């Protein structure tokens, strides 16, 4: 029996596999693509990153010795009054924009999945637009960029009101936490624009579902993190 095992490489079953041109190096244990597993490992690590940033924010909450403060007004030694600095209505609007971008991302992925399936001649405008991965990728990137615009406006107005990254513990933790999130959104927008560029140059097909899917996972993750930040930093005083 040992000799049978040793001779096995030359059995007909293995030969047929080689000759049919099937790319056997793409065999994976789970059947999933490697990139799909790697992005989940990456997101697990990102959870710990934001958990550390958010914990620090919470540990330092209310510990600032000088203002401006997030939810309460402050009068400095010169008698100057500072209003609570967080503008919740404006940030609610930017949060809604970011949530909408996740919706657009879902539709972008769906559009890529639907590629190659025939569309009825009688299809209405919504069905046609549903098939346009370029439209939804552009929409997602645009909404993400709009969120960043809101953040740039927020940061500038805070600096004008006298809160910088050096002012107090609130300034240091707030700008670092939301800045880290903003950097993640920026990477996401660049990623979406790269996908859009690929779509415009060679066109995304059903085989490209995976690369859109992992971008979508990242994008939704960044969105979920913002919901946590928005709740803990803005809504709970």
Partner 1 sequence: MATIAAPTHAGHAEASSQNTGIWSWIATTDHKRIGTLYLWTALFFFLVGGLEAVLIRTQLMKPNMGFVSAETYNQLFTMHGTTMVFLAIMPLSAAFFNFLIPLQIGARDVAFPRLNAFSYWVYLLGGIFLTVPILFDVAPNGGWFGYAPLTTVQFSPGHNIDFWVIGLQVLGVSSLAAAFNFITTIINMRAPGMTLMRMPMFTWMSFVVQFLLVLAFPPITVALVFLLMDRFFGTTFYAIAAGADPLLWQHLFWVFGHPEVYILILPAFGLVSEVLPTFSKKPLFGYNVMVYSGIMIGFLGFGVWAHHMFAVGMGAVADSIFSMMTMLIAIPTGVKIFNWIATMWAGEVRFEVPMKFAIALIGMFTIGGISGVMHSSPPADLQQTDTYFIVAHFHYVLFGGSIMGIFAGIYHYYPKMTGRFMDTGLGNLHFWGNLIGMNLTFFPMHFSGLYGMPRRIYQYDSGQGWDLFNLMSTYGTYLIALSTLVFVWNFVRSRTRGAVAGNDPWGAGTLEWSIPSPPPEYNFAQLPEVTSRYPLWDLKDPSKTAGIAHSHADAMTITDAHAVPVHEETERFTAKELGIPMPLPTAKPLFTAVGLMTMFSGLLFLRNDLFAVAMTITIGGACMFIGGLYAWLTSPLE
What residues make contact with partner 1 under the rule CB under 8 A? 1-2, 4-6, 8-11, 13-19, 22-25, 27-30, 32, 34, 37-38, 41-42, 44-46, 48-49, 51-53, 56, 59-60, 63-65, 165-166, 168-169, 171-173, 176, 194
* Cβ closest to partner 1, residue 24 vs residue 128: 24
Q: In terms of Cα–Cα distance, which of 157, 163, 158, 179 is closest to 229?
A: 179
Burial (CB < 10 A; 0-12, 13-18, 19+), residue 63, is exposed
Residue 75: strand pairing partners: 81
Whether 148 contacts 186, CB under 8 Å:
yes
* Cβ closest to partner 1, residue 12 vs residue 121: 12
CB 197, min distance to partner 1, A: 10
CB 225, min distance to partner 1, A: 13
Q: How many residues does the chain have?
A: 237
* Cβ closest to partner 1, residue 38 vs residue 90: 38
* Cβ closest to partner 1, residue 31 vs residue 116: 31
131, two tokens: 């098939």
Distance CA 83, CA 104 (A): 36
CB 158, min distance to partner 1, A: 14
CB 159, min distance to partner 1, A: 14
CB 7, min distance to partner 1, A: 9
Whether 58 contacts 134, CB under 8 Å:
no
Strands 74-75 and 81-82: antiparallel
């Amino acid at each position: 029996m040992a000799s049978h095992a040793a001779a096995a490489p030359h059995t007909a079953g293995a030969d047929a596999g080689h000759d049919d041109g099937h790319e056997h190096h793409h065999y994976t244990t789970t059947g999933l693509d490697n990139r799909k597993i790697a992005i989940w490992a990456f997101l697990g690590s990102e959870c710990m990153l934001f958990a550390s940033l958010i914990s620090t924010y919470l540990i330092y909450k209310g510990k600032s010795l000088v203002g401006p403060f997030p939810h309460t007004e402050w009068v400095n030694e010169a008698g100057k009054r500072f209003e609570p600095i967080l503008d919740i209505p404006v940030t609610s609007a930017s949060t809604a924009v970011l949530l909408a971008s996740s919706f657009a991302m879902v539709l972008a992925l769906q559009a890529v999945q639907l590629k190659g399936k025939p569309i009825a001649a009688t299809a209405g405008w919504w069905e046609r637009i549903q098939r346009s991965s370029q439209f939804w990728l552009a929409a997602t990137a645009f909404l993400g960029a709009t969120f960043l615009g809101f953040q740039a406006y927020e940061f500038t107005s805070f600096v004008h009101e006298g809160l910088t990254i050096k002012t107090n513990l609130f300034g240091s933790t707030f700008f670092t936490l939301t800045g880290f999130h903003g950097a993640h959104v920026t990477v996401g927008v660049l990623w979406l624009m790269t996908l859009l560029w690929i779509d415009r140059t060679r066109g995304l097909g059903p085989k490209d579902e995976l690369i859109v899917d992992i971008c979508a996972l990242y994008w939704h993750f960044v969105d979920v993190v913002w919901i946590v930040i928005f709740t803990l930093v803005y809504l709970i005083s």
